[in-house]
């Protein structure tokens, strides 16, 4: 039994979720995890820097840990993730109770760095980007984590430099992982009963481009993973529309276990704004991709990310963003107020939008999206859909929760206990704002 306690707090995207799992596994010989930071010998705060608010949250949690360290001076506090990469040693001057700062590329060195920090009783930083870095082969433990679905990282970093975005600065250049390692990890997971796999990267569509000729492209990789016996559901995230190839769209025709959901962040409905964002596609080409995807997979659910209040966004620009909502009728959107993130290039743009207008636009966008989401949900009422069981609902007895291929959450009653990962059919009876209600179809 490991003797020490580890607490990990994770902010940000699924890449960070997966990195936290990897860190917990790397330390599993010595540490068991705890939900209570007060009981921990080591606390890791895995930070996100995508918007100013995310960064503030990370610092406020790091700050709150000071009180534990006062009581327990031997506690080791680690800052990891994107804020750690961005601020490096500077974190020590702001938070002198932090002991170790590591960037996303250094997580695999965590045990060694932690040992070094403790033995030398010296603050340590590891935030260098290494040119020759490769994502190592890594087989996840099965006992920690969800029993039915897992993330598999296929690449790190981003080369796109969208002008608002900090990711290329904090995650470095795109590095694709060896296809054999990805396939081996997926095999290992399904051999242990995992049924759903989500392939992860900041821009999965450009998988393989950094090692052309040596690696398959993303569509080829998807096919290699889809044929692995036991992969009942396959998903991926995230995609930049500029790299969405016909070859990838064809996968939605051919691969039955590829789920009918596509998260395709558009960021704005205005070509002028997209240009200044350096997104490298037009709304016309985005709509053409959407149409082709819908032809390939008529039941596909589309979701997106949207930024409002980007510098220079005029009333007309915002009006065409609202029009895009009507044209595409996304099943859901993640929408954000633009946040200036130095050194991302848009922080130099001077034609900024007032906070009041930004908030008004966000509220307007979200209100309309909420209605469209509800209308979309109503389209499912009366239909029979297959769900993968996620688990028992937290709130009510006898209530179970599953997910459709379109990534909708469905709540239904079941007198018998259901194992996560089990597939069953339900009939949708009611649309709610965040989920669907259903009854089981008895087979
Ligand atoms: N790699 C993904 C995006 C990851 S970040 C992609 O290209 O789609 C997730 C989302 O955060 C982005 O899609 C964007 O909508 C939002 N975002 C990124 N930088 C932002 C900023 N500076 N201000 C507001 N939202 C931002
Ligand atoms: Fe950021 Fe653009 Fe890269 Fe996505 S594609 S991570 S938004 S730079
Ligand atoms: Fe945040 Fe870093 Fe992910 S900035 S969104 S945790 S890549």
The CATH number linked to 39 is 3.40.50.12160
Residues 246 and 352 in one domain: yes
Instruction: Give a yes or no: residue 143 inside a domain.
Output: no
Q: What is the CATH number of the domain that holds 355?
A: 3.80.30.20
Q: How far is the CA of 240 from the centre of ligand 1 (A)?
A: 11
Smallest CA-to-CA distance from 436 within 403, 392, 388 is with 403
Percent of the chain with pLDDT over 90: 91
Counting Cα atoms < 13 Å in the Cβ hemisphere of 261 gives 21
Question: Is the model's pLDDT at 140 over the cut of 90?
Answer: no
Q: Please give the average per-residue pLDDT across 119-143, as a whole number.
A: 87
Torsion of CA 328, 410, 22, 132, to 10 degrees: -20
Per-residue pLDDT at 55: 95
Task: State which ligand 1 atom lies nearest to the alpha carbon of 158.
Answer: 1
Residue 136 falls within a domain, yes or no? no
**Residue 342, helix vs strand vs coil:** coil
pLDDT of residue 397: 75
Is 356 found in the same domain as 243? yes
Whether the CB of 37 sits within 6 Å of ligand 3: no
Residue 170 Cα to ligand 3 midpoint, Å, equals: 8
Separation of 198 CA from ligand 1 center, angstroms? 19
**Cα–Cα distance measured from residue 203 to residue 240, given in angstroms and rounded to the nearest whole number:** 6
Please tell me the residue having the least CA distance from ligand 1 atom 8. 265
User: In the sheet where 149-153 sits, what is the strand order?
Assistant: 149-153, 196-200, 233-237
CB 270 within 8 A of CB 283: yes
| Atom 2 of ligand 2, residue of closest alpha carbon | 162
Q: Could you tell me if 9 and 33 are in contact, meaning their C-beta atoms sit under 8 angstroms apart? A: no
Question: Taking each helix axis from N to C terminus, what angle separates 246-254 and 283-296, rounded to the nearest 10 degrees?
Answer: 20
Q: Report how far apart, in Å, the C-alpha atoms of 99 and of each of 25, 43, 76, 126, 321 are.
A: 21, 10, 6, 12, 45
Q: Which of 122, 126, 119, 121 is nearest to 102 (CA)?
A: 126
The 10 Å CB-count burial string (b at 16+, else e) for 237-246 is bbbbbbbbee
Please tell me whether residues 197 and 267 are part of one structural domain.
yes
Domain boundary at 378, 413, 431, which?
378
State residue 302's pLDDT score: 98
| Residues 153 and 260 grouped into a single domain | yes
Instruction: Say if 277 falls within a structural domain.
Output: yes
Q: pLDDT category, 347, cuts 50, 70, 90?
A: very high
The answer to whether position 142 is within a domain reads: no
pLDDT band at 3 (very low <50, low <70, confident <90, very high): confident
Instruction: Note the ligand closest to the C-alpha atom of 339.
Output: 1
Of the two residues 389 and 122, the one the predictor is more confident about is: 389
pLDDT band (50, 70, 90) for residue 256: very high
Residues 74 and 200 placed together within one structural domain of the fold:
no
Say yes or no to pLDDT of 32 above 80: yes
Do 165 and 304 fall into the same domain? yes
Residue 218 is assigned to a structural domain of this protein = yes
Kindly state whether residues 119 and 167 are assigned to the same domain. Answer: no
Query: Ligand 2 centre and the CA of 202: distance in Å?
Result: 7
Q: Are 224 and 107 members of one domain?
A: no
Å from CA of 165 to ligand 2 middle: 6
Eight-state DSSP code of residue 88: T
Task: Say if 66 falls within a structural domain.
Answer: yes
Of 332, 361, 378, which closes a domain? 378
Q: Give dist(CA 218, CA 243) in Å, integer.
A: 10
Q: Is 45's C-beta closer than 6 angstroms to any atom of ligand 3?
A: no
List, as own/partner pairs, every contact residues 98-103 make where C-beta atoms lie below 8 angstroms and the sequence separation is at least 24, other chains included.
98/62, 98/123, 99/123, 99/124, 100/76, 100/124, 100/125, 100/126, 101/125, 101/126, 101/127, 102/78, 102/126, 102/127, 103/127, 103/128, 103/129, 103/170
CA gap 179, 206 in Å, rounded:
14
Residue 389 covered by a domain: yes
**For residue 132, what pLDDT is reported?**
82
Q: Which of 355, 378, 401 represents a domain boundary (last residue)?
A: 378
Which-ligand-closest: CA of 344?
1
pLDDT, tens digit (0-9, with 9 covering 90-100), for 147-206: 999 999 999 999 999 999 999 999 999 999 999 999 999 999 999 999 999 999 999 999
Residue 266 CB contacts under 8 Å (≥ 6 apart), including other chains: 241, 283, 286, 304, 305, 306, 324
Which CATH number covers residue 418?
Answer: 2.40.50.140
Q: Count how many domains the chain has.
A: 3
Which of ligand 2's atoms lies nearest the C-alpha of 267? Answer: 7
Kindly state the percentage of the chain with pLDDT values over 70. 99
Place of tokens 């993973």: 225
| Residue 186 and residue 114 share a domain | no
| Ligand located closest to 335 CA | 1
d(CA 28, CA 22): 10
Distance from residue 196's CA to the centre of ligand 1 (Å): 25
The residues pairing with 42 across neighbouring beta strands, listed in sequence order, are 6, 76
pTM above the 0.85 mark?
Answer: yes
Q: Which residues contact 27 (CB under 8 A, 6 or more apart)?
A: 6, 42, 110, 111, 114
Tell me whether residue 279 is in a domain. Answer: yes
**Cα 296 to chain centroid, rounded:** 25
Ligand nearest to the CA of 263: 1
Report which ligand 3 atom has the smallest distance to the Cα of 14. Answer: 3
Range of the domain at 429: 384-440
pLDDT band at residue 443 under the 50/70/90 scheme: low
153 CA to centre of ligand 1 in angstroms: 19
Residues 400 and 371 in one domain: no
Asked if residue 363 and residue 230 are part of one domain, the reply reads yes
Which of 12, 163, 202, 277 gets mutated to test ligand 2 (max ligand atoms within 8 A of its CB)?
Answer: 202
Distance of CA 436 to the CA centre of its chain: 23
**Do 109 and 34 share a structural domain?**
yes
């Amino acid at each position: 039994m490991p003797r020490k306690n580890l607490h990990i707090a994770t902010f940000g995207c699924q890449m960070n979720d997966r990195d936290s799992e990897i860190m917990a596994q790397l330390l599993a010989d010595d540490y068991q995890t705890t939900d209570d930071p007060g009981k921990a010998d080591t606390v890791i705060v895995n930070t996100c820097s995508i918007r100013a608010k995310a960064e503030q949250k990370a610092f406020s949690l790091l700050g709150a840990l000071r009180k534990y360290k006062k009581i327990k001076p031997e506690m080791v506090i680690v800052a990891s993730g994107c804020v750690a990469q961005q601020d490096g040693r500077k974190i020590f001057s702001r938070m002198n109770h932090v002991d170790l700062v590591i960037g996303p590329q250094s997580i695999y060195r965590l045990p060694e760095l932690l040992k070094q920090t403790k033995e030398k009783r010296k603050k340590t930083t590891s935030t260098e980007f290494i040119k020759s870095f490769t994502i190592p082969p890594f087989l996840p433990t099965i006992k920690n984590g969800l029993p039915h679905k897992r993330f598999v990282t296929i690449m790190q970093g981003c080369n796109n430099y969208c002008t608002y975005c900090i990711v290329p600065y904090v995650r470095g250049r795109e590095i694709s992982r060896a296809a054999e390692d990805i396939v081996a990890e997926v095999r290992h997971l399904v051999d242990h009963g995992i049924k759903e796999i989500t392939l992860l990267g900041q821009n999965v569509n450009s998988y393989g481009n950094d090692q052309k000729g040596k690696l398959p492209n993303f569509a080829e990789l998807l096919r290699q993973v889809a044929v692995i016996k036991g992969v009942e559901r396959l998903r991926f995230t995230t995609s930049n529309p500029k790299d969405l190839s016909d070859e990838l769209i064809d996968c939605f025709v051919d691969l039955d276990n590829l789920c009918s959901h596509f998260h395709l962040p558009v960021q704005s409905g205005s070509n002028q704004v997209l240009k200044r964002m350096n997104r490298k596609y037009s709304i016309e080409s985005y709509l053409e991709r959407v149409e082709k995807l819908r032809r390939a997979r008529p039941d596909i659910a589309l979701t997106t990310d949207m930024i409002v209040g980007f510098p220079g966004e005029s009333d007309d620009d915002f009006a065409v963003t609202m029009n895009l909502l009507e044209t595409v009728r996304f099943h859901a959107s993640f929408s954000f107020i633009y946040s200036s993130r130095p050194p991302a290039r848009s922080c130099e743009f001077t034609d900024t939008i007032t906070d009041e207008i930004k908030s008004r636009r966000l509220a307007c966008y979200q209100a309309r999206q909420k209605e469209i989401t509800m209308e979309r949900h109503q389209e499912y009422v009366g239909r029979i859909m297959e769900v993968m069981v996620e688990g028992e609902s937290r709130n009510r007895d006898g209530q179970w929760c599953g997910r459709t291929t379109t990534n909708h959450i469905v709540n239904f009653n079941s007198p018998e206990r259901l194992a996560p990962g089990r597939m069953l059919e339900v009939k949708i009876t009611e649309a709610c704002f965040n989920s669907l209600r259903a009854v089981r179809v008895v087979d």
